Structure 1
Amino acid sequence: MNEELLRDRIRWVRDGAVARIELASPATRNALDGDMALALREVAARLAEGTAGENLRVALLTAQGPLFSVGGDLRWFAAAPDPSQRIAETATLLHETLHILAHIPLPVVSVLHGTVAGGGIGIALGADIVLAGSTAKLRVAYTAAGLSPDCGVSWFLARRIGQARALDLALTNRVVAAEELHQWGLVSRVVAQETLMNEAEEVVRTLVTGSAPALAATKQLLRDAGEPPPVFKARLDAEATSIANLLKGSDGREGLRAFLEKRAPLFSSTNTEPLSS
């Protein structure tokens, strides 16, 4: 068994034909900063290489700590001389990772527990099979900071739960619990928290003993059934451009300041007139 800690952010374990990948920055609540983005990009490259030449069969993605990921590290973005450029560069790395994961032939399984928010949603939903513990919760969160989705979040939400529900979640940022996520088709299964990892290991055993060519062909057929791969890539590029442009504007900068100061943002575009009764 080969184990490494990539950039102090991701624990990588090569366990026979299984790649075990663990977000390993609980102190930051597994936030997506530059090191996390680089580590995830390295993971994706290893999976692509391992599938081609090292007989990897399955990838399992989990997370340390009380939650899966809070999404982008807004404090790290705000500390840059040019936050817009930093968020664009980070989004590009994460989007390259998602594109690779969607098109490598081996199945990818993610396991959610606690809260998943922002870009962490895209990392989780980028897997082929998504298992959620009964305590799992999702919050899109971008517009609360004056930003728009990245990491494929707009793609996954619109295609899996429909435009009406996707707009509801993305615009209001309401918290959605595990059972509702399952009813809507955002996650594959909901499992009691105490048996979540046992279920994940059973899924891994099923996949690793299956026919690799059949699994690869099936993944490709189902992945391509909705839209051809270039459309997914174009959507990722559009997300990266949108979130970077918003961070150049006054609302995006105010969203970051408000987050750092732990207060409600005062967006310049907010209508301050009282609502009519």
Structure 2
Amino acid sequence: MEPELVVTDIRDGYRVLMLNRPDRLNSFTAAMHKALMAALIAAEADTSCRAIILTGAGRGFCAGQDLSDGVYTPGETPDLSATIETYYNPLIRKLRSLPMPVISAVNGVAAGAGANVAFAGDIVIAGRSAKFVQSFAKLGLVPDAGGTWILPRLIGVARARAIALLAEPVAAEQAEAWGMIWKAIDDAELMTEAHRLAAHFATQPTAGLALMKRAFDLSETNSLDQQLDLERDLQGDAGRLPDYSEGVTAFMEKRAPRFVGRQ
């Protein structure tokens, strides 16, 4: 029997989604794209799922696109835009719009689109041996999967242009120092920390956190006036959620809140 391309581990209040092509450094094929999207849709449909950990099997997170998966045939001119439109763009949009925090736990190499998929998470942590590589220049290609959008916002235009044009790897500790990721962690502790974060989010006001995610995403293109109006509207929405009442009541009663999470 063929192994699952994406392994789902359902925990109490969250799910772990593991890319599972370790022999190919979890590089993407059309089949793995479909499996990951199906796993994300299933997690979103499960109202008891209040966080997701995305990680890779074996010694790497994801090496990007598997070039042997029909995207290139010698002597033919490929339409790479079709692959992006069919698979990568929907994946990034789904990751960014999920109504729960997504934790990218990067083990080993994250290259090309694999790096940018990791950056689509809300919190990115990486083992100290991990490396992030915008490898597109080695093939004469343009960073995709949101790379040209997210990288300048994370580390500034100068660094984003340099690492893309040079295709030089960025070690996890350097990525942390630049603000590319949240934290670099000892390899042996990576998944322990990922589970700690997910277990924390499994007890938090998930619907409110989803509104927060939306606010940060829209802030990238909004003017200050537009963002102030958005904050006003989203705060109104948050105040009508049961978790706000529970949070205030718990504070007044000096006890831990018991948040409903997703509505």
Same fold flag (TM > 0.5) = yes
What is the Cα-based RMSD across aligned positions, in Å?
Answer: 2.1
Equivalent in the alignment of 2:112 = 118
Equivalent in the alignment of 2:126 = 132
Deviations 1:179-200 (A, max 9, x none): 1101111111111111111111
Distance 1:80 1:19 in 2: 40
Matches within 5 A, 1:20-169: 20-50=16-46, 54-76=47-69, 77-79=71-73, 84-85=78-79, 87-92=80-85, 93-169=87-163
Q: Secondary structure at the match of 1:187?
A: coil
Q: Secondary structure at the match of 1:78?
A: coil
Q: Which residue identity is paired with 1:212?
A: T
Question: TM-score under structure 1 normalisation?
Answer: 0.74
Residues 217 and 168 of structure 1, relative CA distance in 2, 3 Å threshold: same
How many residue pairs end up in the alignment? 220
Q: Which residue identity is paired with 1:223?
A: D
Identity %: 28
Structure 1 residue 201 corresponds to structure 2 residue 223: no
Q: In the alignment, is the contact (CA less than 8 A) between 1:69 and 1:115 conserved in 2? A: yes
Distance 1:100 1:125 in 2: 13
Instruction: List gaps (5 residues or longer) in structure 2.
Output: 223-263
Q: In the alignment, is the contact (CA less than 8 A) between 1:25 and 1:64 conserved in 2? A: yes
Residues 15 and 90 of structure 1, relative CA distance in 2, 3 Å threshold: farther
Deviations 1:55-74 (A, max 9, x none): 32011111101111111112
Distance 2:191 2:45 in 1: 27
Equivalent in the alignment of 1:263 = none
Residues 118 and 210 of structure 1, relative CA distance in 2, 3 Å threshold: same
Q: In the alignment, is the contact (CA less than 8 A) between 2:14 and 2:199 conserved in 1? A: no
Q: Secondary structure at the match of 2:60?
A: coil
Q: In the alignment, is the contact (CA less than 8 A) between 2:63 and 2:110 conserved in 1? A: yes
Moved over 6 A (4+): none
Q: Which residue identity is paired with 1:10?
A: V
Equivalent in the alignment of 1:170 = 164
Deviations 1:113-167 (A, max 9, x none): 2111000011111100001111111111101111111111111111111111000
Deviations 1:254-275 (A, max 9, x none): xxxxxxxxxxxxxxxxxxxxxx
Q: Secondary structure at the match of 1:75?
A: coil
Structure 1 residue 12 corresponds to structure 2 residue 5: no
Q: Secondary structure at the match of 1:227?
A: coil
Matches within 5 A, 1:226-237: 226-227=220-221
Q: In the alignment, is the contact (CA less than 8 A) between 2:9 and 2:16 conserved in 1? A: yes
Distance 2:183 2:27 in 1: 25
- How far has the Cα of 1:6 moved from its partner? 9.9
- How far has the Cα of 1:223 moved from its partner? 2.2
- How far has the Cα of 1:80 moved from its partner? 8.5
Q: Which residue identity is paired with 1:44?
A: L
Distance 1:47 1:203 in 2: 17
Q: Which residue identity is paired with 2:102?
A: V
